[in-house]
Structure 1
Amino acid sequence: EIPNGLLELHFAALKKENKSRNRYKKVYPYDYCRVVLDTDDNTGGTDYVNACFVHGFNFDKEYIAAQGPFTNETLLDFWRLIWQNRCTRVVMLTNLFEGDRMKCLQYWPENEDMRFGPFLVRPEMQDVFEQYTVRRLVVEKGDEKKRVTQYHFTAWPDCRVPEDMDTLLEFRNIVIKDIAPEEGPIVVHCSAGIGRTGTFIALDYLLKEVMTKDSIDVINCVSKLRQQRAFSIQTDMQYAFLQEAIVHALTHHDYLTGPFLEVDGM
């Protein structure tokens, strides 16, 4: 049985001053692994953001699993998170609107610069593909300047799975291409930061694991993930898709190479 629910303490999320920063009831970061923002940045914000550090297969704190910004204050907090944690890659797995519901506010510029508190965000380049878009952004704060690349997968319905497994696996390879150890965590978000976000993180973790081991344990991976980000991988459909995507990658060597024997938990 894979654990589910709020498994660890989450007092910070319930503080009066932080409640407006949680989009969904009961989707809270755990105190022990939440991303704590530096309040000495002259933004007037709190130290709270609905986001958790998640350990990867290769590194601790390899990812940050986050909810998508949905208010002006969470837009600013999102850029504080990216800046303070030296993040250079952001994976977005939701569309801004799905049906008639706003799932995430736009935190990047299309043509003209956008300002979020002390952060000036400028568009540098955009590559649009059928199911995803890659945007290169320049972020400035005072005299400092950083480059951030956003990888936006646009064909993954909420609480469901992508129809095209090959494109998602190709997208994942683009996200991690040429990543350097000194880079900050990869920010992964959808709307709540649990279903699509958890599925993507687990997929990346397990594909890295299978490159170095002759078997992988899907149940153990998802259990550990939920101990860091509550409710990760929301539906049976997403869990089944995760298993199917790993098997698909094992049989299509464009996605990875190495010795593959067995996959536990399937």
Structure 2
Amino acid sequence: MNRGLPDTPSWLQTSQKLSHVNTLLQTLGERERQRETARRASRRRRSPVLNVLRSTERLHHYSVAAGYANKWGNRYLYSEPYDRTRVVVGIDEEQCVVGTGDASHGRYLNASWVREMFGGKWWIATQAPLPNTAHAFLSVILQPVTRPPQLLDASTTSQRCRVRTVVQLTKNVENGRVKAHPYFPAVIGASWTVPPEERVSAPSIKVTLLETKSIPEVHCIQSTVSIVPISSTGQEQEPITFRHMMYTAWPDHGVPEPEDRASLLAFIHLVDRSNKDTSSQPHSDELYPDPPIIVNCSAGIGRTGSFIALSSLLRAYDLFASDPVTNLTPLPASPLGPLPSEFKDDLVAQEVDSLREQRPGMVQRDEQIMLIYEVLAAAFS
């Protein structure tokens, strides 16, 4: 449990020096460009660029869910998840399970299983759902067990582990452009029917807004939403509820203003506490205490990656009101090799590089990397 603030780590004090930061940003940028080279090659399997790759291992490691069959489900061009970590939703009602990887018969969702390097928690990082992917997105929440498969995590448990928290880090409309399509109504008590995408036999989902409230001190709009499949037999099923938490002070292609940094830190703490709260859930004694959280911005990479990185480092330093995850299984080594030795003690550098190994473009902008340093330093003060 949190026993008071620990001292600021020495690496955090020294890592914000200009020379260190400049070298780090160049190094992380170059490594991501190498990943992008492999991603482009995976989109064009016969591309001459294959000849410059050192091994087919790298091509396989960084292959993305590209192809005409999946384009309909991507909000942005060339923003696809890696095949080896992408979330795959079962194709019909009987097979509506959540898995990972190269599933030729699964439903496509632009979402990735992502594990914190130092905090150890699993997340589902995703783009904001489109109207034609909202059903697949909600189907993930309907699953009684939503855990990364053993391919990614050998400690996977069969304990009831349903997603009960969704974090949204973008407003639906920013600067006149749609950044996220709503998938639940704005009026309390109102319901929407969300149909599956074409050629999918799963039932439509009834989505009802139960409650909404504003939490101004953390720039959060918190909504409680229920979802239930509409049975073709008319038989009533038990609704599933989840909490939707929108943070409204993080602009696209940027970072929160300095005066909003404290609210971001408080919001991260609120999300962590909320996800552990089972008081509104049925069968609460059977529930996993801290299930994976779904988090999205618009593309699900920049703000999303920054949020996960901050959560990981706060958890690793016991700055949440809970014990950090222990006995972590090491994440797979990067085909690019480790970061240079000068960054071995820089946990922000290590975390960002690790997240980029799991979903392309995570912590997309240099100023978002600097935000992680700054907010983490503020957490120790």
In 2, Cα distance between equivalents of 1:17 and 1:80: 20
Q: Any idea what SS the aligned residue of 2:75 has?
A: coil
* Corresponding residue for residue 81 of structure 1: 140
Ranges in structure 2 where 5+ consecutive residues have no aligned partner: 1-26, 39-60, 97-104, 147-161, 196-203, 232-236, 277-287, 319-323, 327-344
Query: 1:46: Cα distance to partner?
Result: 5.1
Would you tell me which structure has more strand in proportion to its own residues?
A: 1
In 2, Cα distance between equivalents of 1:76 and 1:178: 24
* Corresponding residue for residue 234 of structure 1: 364
Ranges in structure 1 where 5+ consecutive residues have no aligned partner: 252-266
2:78 alignment partner AA: K
Which stretches of structure 1, 4 residues or more, deviate above 2 A after TM superposition? Answer: 5-11, 40-46, 56-60, 81-86, 178-184
Query: 1:43: Cα distance to partner?
Result: 11
* Corresponding residue for residue 115 of structure 2: 55
Q: In 2, are the aligned partners of 1:113 and 1:123 still within 8 Å (CA)?
A: yes
Q: In 1, are the aligned partners of 2:128 and 2:300 still within 8 Å (CA)?
A: yes
Map 1:21-32 → 2, pairs under 5 A: 21-32=73-84
Q: In 2, are the aligned partners of 1:93 and 1:190 still within 8 Å (CA)?
A: yes
Query: 1:103: Cα distance to partner?
Result: 0.5
Query: 1:81: Cα distance to partner?
Result: 2.5
What is the TM-score of this pair, normalised by structure 1?
Answer: 0.85
* Post-superposition CA distance 1:112-165 (Å, at most 9, x none): 111112211111111113321111111112413211001100111001111211
Q: In 2, are the aligned partners of 1:134 and 1:151 still within 8 Å (CA)?
A: yes
* Corresponding residue for residue 149 of structure 1: 243
Map 1:192-203 → 2, pairs under 5 A: 192-203=299-310
What is the TM-score of this pair, normalised by structure 2?
Answer: 0.61
* Distance of aligned partners of 1:106 and 1:113 in 2 relative to their CA distance in 1, 3 Å threshold: same
* Corresponding residue for residue 263 of structure 1: none
The one of 143, 158, 166 aligned to 1:90: 166
Which has the higher Rg, Structure 1 or Structure 2? 2
* Corresponding residue for residue 137 of structure 1: 225
1:198 alignment partner AA: G
The one of 229, 244, 252 aligned to 2:374: 244
Map 1:208-223 → 2, pairs under 5 A: 208-211=315-318, 217-223=347-353
Q: Any idea what SS the aligned residue of 1:230 has?
A: coil
Q: Aligned residue pairs: how many?
A: 247
Q: In 2, are the aligned partners of 1:160 and 1:238 still within 8 Å (CA)?
A: yes
1:54 alignment partner AA: V
* Corresponding residue for residue 107 of structure 1: 183
* Post-superposition CA distance 1:90-117 (Å, at most 9, x none): 0000111111211110012222111112
In 2, Cα distance between equivalents of 1:221 and 1:158: 22
* Distance of aligned partners of 1:179 and 1:32 in 2 relative to their CA distance in 1, 3 Å threshold: same
* Post-superposition CA distance 1:58-107 (Å, at most 9, x none): 546x100000023x211222212322332110000011111121111001
* Distance of aligned partners of 1:204 and 1:230 in 2 relative to their CA distance in 1, 3 Å threshold: same
Would you tell me which structure has more helix in proportion to its own residues?
A: 2
In 1, Cα distance between equivalents of 2:95 and 2:135: 8
* Corresponding residue for residue 66 of structure 1: 126
For the aligned residue pairs, the C-alpha RMSD in angstroms reads: 2.3
Query: 1:21: Cα distance to partner?
Result: 0.7
In 2, Cα distance between equivalents of 1:110 and 1:183: 28
